[in-house]
Amino acid sequence: MGKSSLAGRMAKGMAKKAVTRFMDRVGGKVVSGMADTSSDAPDSRFKPKRDLYSKMKADDAADEESE
């Protein structure tokens, strides 16, 4: 088992980093499309599974009206 050339090891490392970056960018979009990872965010691109932000706003408005 001999050592690989320096250029070969560098190319392999760069290729690994490129694949990792690609998967981070594309995979994040795929996951956010399949599952709502920001379900409580008021400005999420997808309809949240539970709408905690709107419920909090409605509760605040109801509290202000009762005062």
pLDDT along the chain (67 residues), means of 10: 79 93 84 61 59 82 76
Count of CA atoms in the C-beta half-sphere (13 A) of 39: 9
The two three-digit tokens of residue 58, written as one number: 């409605």
Q: Is the dihedral of CA 25, 27, 30, 36 positive or negative?
A: negative
Q: What integer pLDDT is reported at residue 64 of this predicted model?
A: 76
Which pTM does this prediction carry?
A: 0.40
Q: Domains in the chain: how many in total? A: 2
Please indicate, yes or no, whether residues 10 and 25 belong to a single structural domain of this protein. Answer: yes
In one letter, which amino acid is 33?
G
Domain range enclosing 65? 38-67
In one letter, which amino acid is 3?
K
Count of CA atoms in the C-beta half-sphere (13 A) of 48: 14
Please indicate, yes or no, whether residues 44 and 22 belong to a single structural domain of this protein. Answer: no
